[in-house]
Amino acid sequence: MVARKCPECEGLVASTINVCPHCGYRFSVEAYCVSNQPTINYSENPNVSLAYVVCAFILFWPFAVVSLLYYIKSNSRWRVGDEAGAKYYGSISILWARIALWLNIACLLVLIFVLALL
């Protein structure tokens, strides 16, 4: 996907939409085609990792569901050009996946401790 910068607010806007979601600036197709605005080509969202979500599902699935929902929100924000929103939701997605990892480790340590007492 190609993103472009809004001349009004400098926010990233997907090339598939003609109105800036941040400030409401309307892009004209002709002006965009002839202008020398730098375009940024982002093929995928760098703010999230599907590996974290998959690991969370393997380790502690209740928190993985929350992680997956924020992963989806981050990708949808990325597709419309909202880089700040994608970064925010991506960090929450990774946080929930890490919480699932640490809870799994804590449960395993408690299990080992209980089995050692028996």
State the Cα–Cα distance between residues 73 and 13, nearest whole angstrom. Answer: 17
40 vs 17: which has the higher pLDDT: 17
Q: Which of 8-17, 94-103, 108-117 has the lowest mean pLDDT?
A: 8-17
pTM: 0.58
Token couple for 99? 């919480």
> Element (H or E) spanning 40, and its range?
strand 39-41
The per-residue pLDDT for range 29-88, each reduced to its tens digit, is 554 444 455 555 555 777 777 887 888 888 778 888 888 899 899 888 888 888 888 889
| 59, 100 Cβ separation under 8 angstroms | yes
What does the alpha-carbon distance between residue 32 and residue 36 come to, in Å, rounded to a whole number?
8
